[in-house]
Every structure is written in structure tokens, then in C-alpha cells.
Homo-oligomer: A and B are copies of this chain.
Amino acid sequence: MKKNIITISRQFGSGGRTVGHLIAEKLGIPFYDKELVDHIALESGFAPKFVEEHGEHSPGKSVFSYAFAPQGVPGVMNGLSTADFLWNIQCGAIMQLAEKGPCVIVGRNADYILKDRKDCFHAFIYADKEFRAERIVRLYGESDKSPLARLQDKDKRRSVNYQHYTGRVWGASENYDICLNTGTIGVETAADIIVSLIKNSDE
């Protein structure tokens, strides 16, 4: 079946976002990442920055989880935690985007949310820690934390969030059509492989 929607799940620093961007560019289809965040924020009433930080991270377990109702929409969370509320909005937003037509969606558990659509192609992008550590320092600069600690922290949060909402193991190959190690294959080549597979998928 023709694959129209490409979901990219990725380890932090692996270049998965760039892979997704290149694919969208080469196929001439929309790319959703920050745009998706903005869309969710608009729907939920949360600030884009807040959605970006919490949409893929651990489900809230602290007392603050229930504390921040979106401004101007009192009572809209219906007793859900912030994380659960965002999850619901996110599922709806991703399903709507997929309905609109061919696109690339990066992160936000889209592989799971769209698992029942036969026209989706799911990729996981990863790389060894040294490759990713060098890359995040080059792209995002230094921080108080060591690069390895930053990788571990972000991956852990994505993984816990994924497992909590999907019941699956994050990065387990069986959830994807392809898993590519950009550390050895390269970011450009990873994008080219996926583009070629999409172009040759059956009508």
C-alpha cells in the first residue's frame, strides 16, 4: 500500500529531526514538529514552550501535575493530569494532521497513535552516545550538565512517556518499519533510504 504518512521517532541528538525535515523536503510534503506543538498549544490553551517541554516527557507524578490549568479555559481539564490532558489533545491533533494528507511527523509518539493506519511508514532514528554527544554540543551549545547526562535525561523522559502511554518499549525495532543508526549510516543517507522506500511503496 502507498505510504503517505512518515513518522520519525528518534533518540535525542541522533539527527532524527533533520532526517524528517530532509524527507519532507525531498518528497515535497508538510513537516510537523514545532508546528505540531503550536497546533496542540492552540487547542489546549497551554503556552507552546510548556507543550514542547511536557508533550514527550514523563507523565506528571508530582503535585504540580494537576496545578496548571490552561489560562482562560477553566475546568477544561476534566480532572485529568496535565500530562494526560496533553496526551489526549496530542492524539487528536496527530490524527487530524494524518487525515489532511501526506506528511512527516517527528516524535510525540505518532508511531503508536497512528499504528492502525495502513498508509503509515514508521522509522526509528538512533546513534551511539559519542556521535550524539558531539552533535548536541555543536548544535545546541554547552550547558551545566555533561552532554552524556543530557542525552540520558532526555532519552529517559521520552522512554518513560512512551511506555506509560503506549505500553510498548521505546526504540524496540518491532514497532517500526525501519531503524537507522545515523552514527554509522549518516543523516543524509538515512533520509535517502526512507525517501526511496516511500517512492517505491505500492499504490
Contact B184 A181 (CB under 8 A): no
If A172-B172, A173-B173 touch, does A180 touch B178 (CB 8 Å cutoff)? yes
Contact B181 A177 (CB under 8 A): yes
Instruction: A165 to B100: give the CA distance in the assembly, Å.
Output: 49
- Which residues 141-200 of A sit at the B interface, judged by CB distance below 8 A? 171-174, 176-181, 184-185, 189, 193, 197, 200
Q: Please tell me the number of chain A residues within 8 Å of chain B, measured between CB atoms.
A: 20
Q: List the number of copies, as a whole number.
A: 2
Contact A171 B171 (CB under 8 A): no
Write the nearest CB–CB distance from A116 to chain B, whole angstroms: 14
Q: Does A87 contact B (CB under 8 A)?
A: no
Q: Does A124 contact B (CB under 8 A)?
A: yes
Q: Does A31 contact B (CB under 8 A)?
A: no
- List, in ascending order, chain B residues with CB within 8 A of A179's CB: 124, 173, 176, 178-179
Contact A185 B181 (CB under 8 A): no
Q: Does A32 contact B (CB under 8 A)?
A: no
Q: Does A126 contact B (CB under 8 A)?
A: yes
Instruction: A85 to B195: give the CA distance in the assembly, Å.
Output: 46
Instruction: A176 to B171: give the CA distance in the assembly, Å.
Output: 12
* Residue positions of A touching B, CB distance < 8 A: 121, 124, 126, 128, 171-174, 176-181, 184-185, 189, 193, 197, 200
Known: A128-B174, A172-B173, A177-B185. 6 other contacts (CB 8 A): A121-B184, A171-B173, A172-B172, A173-B173, A178-B185, A193-B193
